[in-house]
Structure 1
Amino acid sequence: MIGKNVQHVFIVGSKGIPGNYGGYETFVDRLTEYHAGNAALKYHVACKATERGRFSYHNADCFKVNVPNIGPAQAIYYDVAALNECVKYIRANHIPHPIVYVLACRIGPFAAHFERVIHRLGGKLYINPDGHEWMRAKWSAPVRKYWKISEQMMTKHCDLLVCDSKNMETYIHEEYPQYDPQTLFISYGAETRASKLADDDPKLLDWYREKGLSPKSYYLVVGRFVPENNYETMIREFMKSGSKRDFALITNVSDKFLEELKAKTGFDKDPRIKFVGTVYDKELLMKIRENAYGYFHGHEVGGTNPSLLEALGSTDLNLLLGVGFNREVAEDAALYWSKEPGDLAALIERADAMTADEIHALGQKAKQRIADAYSWQFIADEYERLFFGEARG
């Protein structure tokens, strides 16, 4: 579908759709789903693969990019190869006014080159800077330095930075005033509906039986198993609390970090702390969130976090680390804690003593917050305005 009345958008930087789990992957999946019926908008989505090929999904043209197994440099290779593929396709098919949208700031050293090439083709280069990748504890010092320089170069060499957090947008302007970056805030989205699973669904009951849990008997966390998500603080403080409930952690554990946590906290001696593995069934995970007594969120690096939005859309009582990113999203629909010793433990005991009416009122506020500013329909509409040049600054 190539014509002057069609806006072609090339998306690079997610692992691809369908079937990949992660913030960017869910974003691209939902964006293409909500715009699948829009004949004036055509998506082309890069998909990381071990072979080449093209297929259609949600009416998007998905192209496979063969990425060799070269360790940590894979992500950089993938983005560069995907961008080269986009350029080749735009040229071969004489695509008018294309938009190339790169997710994350991984390829700074190549940004000036691709900006020039895309501009020569009459196109625009948009970047989503994600969060502070250079602050993540998993990276060595040289890698962190690379991410920071890459972020700087991509800020300099693009037409627009689409930030999924107002805090991130502020950071970009304060950190790089010399480039006078053009930015736009469009958040990440979340579902606003309830799970399709019934309370007595065998799948749910079997999961509870296997994990030794029951509805409203547990606090929950769902997220990547990395130090900057503050697992140590959450576990240590829960162990300090006198809560009679369990703490269920849905995460893909790494043995090294698990052993570190065990040595630091001794959580293996507290039967309330339960690492329950991963849950990739969307409806089941949504139901587990709905049935949690409370949800912990300890993320402090990055922009608007998908697991926080999902928790606000499903769980009534949310206890969040009180950093700017989290307060911006939840506002007064959650309770907040700091990393000061004893602070979260005291909040857990306060939460345990809350009345059903108090918890319900917070839950209603949280769901309204998602419906007003973070529903996928709202986000898809914002992107439609952006791609057709009608975005509000």
Structure 2
Amino acid sequence: MKHVFIIGSKGIPAKYGGFETFVEYLTKMKVSANISYHVSCMTEDNKEFYHNGVRCFNIKVPVIGSAKAILYDILSIKECIRYIKEKGIQNAIVYVLACRIGPFFSIYKNQLKELGAHILVNPDGHEWKRSKWNYFIRKYWRTSERLMVKHADLLVCDSKGIEAYIQEDYAIYNPKTTFIAYGATVKESELLESSSTELLDWYEKYGVKYNEYYLIVGRFVPENNYELMIKEFMLSNSKKDLVIISNVEHNSFYKELLSSTNFNNDPRIKFVGTVYDQEMLKKIREQAYGYIHGHEVGGTNPSLLEALASTNLNLLLEVVFNKEVGSDGAVYFNKDKGNLANLINEVDFYENEKIKKLSTKAKQRIINKYSWEKVVNDYETLFLNLNKEREK
């Protein structure tokens, strides 16, 4: 039996973002009877429970501000070490999601090494570049990433762009890497009809019409290029709306965005808050005329995969991570003034056949390269063959 301990996500059942969704699918779609998962969960107690047939162990973490996630990972890895010792587990795998505990990593790596365990790390994607962090936090993230790359037995990258970055920027450590994608599902929403009262009420509330809106879904942070997309849409001649689904709060970024764009003077720009119902969100994606994706930091973005799997027409910022995923199933824009506006004016008049071809290519790409079935199979193959790879 191969025991795999997963730490770094907030846990399952998934209620949050990408890592949580990944762990949810990895465990609920488990195929091999020779793998036993142990999942760390951030909660208010230290109990154990089972979900998707796998052992979940709670980690109670005091509220200490932005350092809470770091402490959570440290407490989680310490609990893994305790459990491995207590149960006498041989050749365990500890898979750490994100690079938060670099300065402390070598201590626990050595303890796990003494127990014969392998330690894998998912480096996520350029967390130190995110504008929400101040200089000192960015410095910590960069240092933490470097130290985790240095000490990991294997780095599992969900983007080939991130894998290339790790190999190039940390060549001094000769890092061992592998690529396993994030996943998505190409399947129309079956739980929510197009004529459902819930969906129609949502359309009416925000003055949105079927197939008459472009959609943006993502975290409300500057590096996702909201200012660029809003300004360019305002420059366009489109008669459609721009619907923005995000965790918008009237914070400093919102005020700066309002000041720099005056989007409140354009009735096409519609901030609609968040949509937590996943079936509802899927239906909103499916019925959009197009999706606009401005993310430029990080690796494979879950919201992009979901858009390619659901929305017929996708307009992506031309950076390596997005082109890697979208390939020829999307159209691309850059940051030059007028570039996205002109693209919107152009795609507004695409013939249905052209949109259908792009949609087919996008969905086929998800099925071939990014299906959860493939992701789960790739991970199980990795976990079950890790000893052989190590010996090589």
**What amino acid is aligned across from residue 326 of structure 1 in structure 2?**
N
Question: How far apart are 1:387 and its partner, in Å?
Answer: 0.4
Distance in 2 of aligned mates of 1:178 and 1:97: 28
Q: Choose the corresponding residue for 1:68, options 62, 65, 79.
A: 62
Q: Choose the corresponding residue for 1:147, options 141, 145, 148.
A: 141
Q: Choose the corresponding residue for 1:371, options 367, 370, 385.
A: 367
Post-superposition Cα deviations, 1:194-232, rounded to whole Å, max 9, x if no partner, equal 111221122211111112112101000110000000000
Where in structure 2 are the equivalents of 1:93-104 lying within 5 Å? 93-104=87-98
The residue number in structure 2 matching 1:185 is: 179
Normalization by structure 2: what TM-score? Answer: 0.97
What is the number of equivalent residue pairs in this alignment? 387
Question: How far apart are 1:19 and its partner, in Å?
Answer: 3.8
Runs of 4+ more than 2 Å apart: 390-393
SS state at 1:114 partner: helix
Where in structure 2 are the equivalents of 1:1-393 lying within 5 Å? 6-35=1-30, 38-196=32-190, 197-255=192-250, 256-389=252-385
SS state at 1:69 partner: coil
Post-superposition Cα deviations, 1:124-164, rounded to whole Å, max 9, x if no partner, equal 00000000000000000011011001000000101000000
C-alpha distance 111-229 of structure 1, shift in aligned 2 (>3 A)? same
Of residues 367-376 and 274-283 in structure 1, the stretch that sits farther from structure 2 once superposed is: 274-283
Question: How far apart are 1:51 and its partner, in Å?
Answer: 1.5
Q: Unaligned stretches of 5+ in structure 1?
A: 1-5
Distance in 2 of aligned mates of 1:29 and 1:113: 29
Post-superposition Cα deviations, 1:363-393, rounded to whole Å, max 9, x if no partner, equal 0000000000000001000001000017999
Contact residue 14 and residue 24 of structure 2 kept, 8 A: no
**What amino acid is aligned across from residue 189 of structure 2 in structure 1?**
S
**What amino acid is aligned across from residue 143 of structure 1 in structure 2?**
I
SS state at 1:47 partner: strand
Post-superposition Cα deviations, 1:64-105, rounded to whole Å, max 9, x if no partner, equal 101111001101100000000111111111111100000000
Q: Unaligned stretches of 5+ in structure 2?
A: none
Normalization by structure 1: what TM-score? Answer: 0.97
Post-superposition Cα deviations, 1:303-360, rounded to whole Å, max 9, x if no partner, equal 0000000000000100000000000001111000011110000000001010111111
Of residues 16-25 and 72-81 in structure 1, the stretch that sits farther from structure 2 once superposed is: 16-25
Distance in 1 of aligned mates of 2:280 and 2:209: 14
Distance in 2 of aligned mates of 1:19 and 1:43: 15
SS state at 1:111 partner: helix
**What amino acid is aligned across from residue 159 of structure 2 in structure 1?**
S
SS state at 2:45 partner: coil
**What amino acid is aligned across from residue 150 of structure 1 in structure 2?**
S
Distance in 1 of aligned mates of 2:46 and 2:201: 40
SS state at 1:331 partner: helix
The residue number in structure 2 matching 1:3 is: none
Q: CA RMSD in A?
A: 1.2
Question: How far apart are 1:261 and its partner, in Å?
Answer: 0.5
**What amino acid is aligned across from residue 17 of structure 2 in structure 1?**
G
**What amino acid is aligned across from residue 39 of structure 1 in structure 2?**
A
**What amino acid is aligned across from residue 79 of structure 1 in structure 2?**
D
**What amino acid is aligned across from residue 52 of structure 1 in structure 2?**
N
Distance in 2 of aligned mates of 1:68 and 1:107: 17
SS state at 1:195 partner: coil
| Percent of aligned positions that are identical | 54
Post-superposition Cα deviations, 1:258-300, rounded to whole Å, max 9, x if no partner, equal 1110000000111100001111111111110000000000000
Distance in 2 of aligned mates of 1:215 and 1:8: 48
Distance in 1 of aligned mates of 2:80 and 2:210: 48
Question: How far apart are 1:58 and its partner, in Å?
Answer: 0.5
Question: How far apart are 1:254 and its partner, in Å?
Answer: 2.9
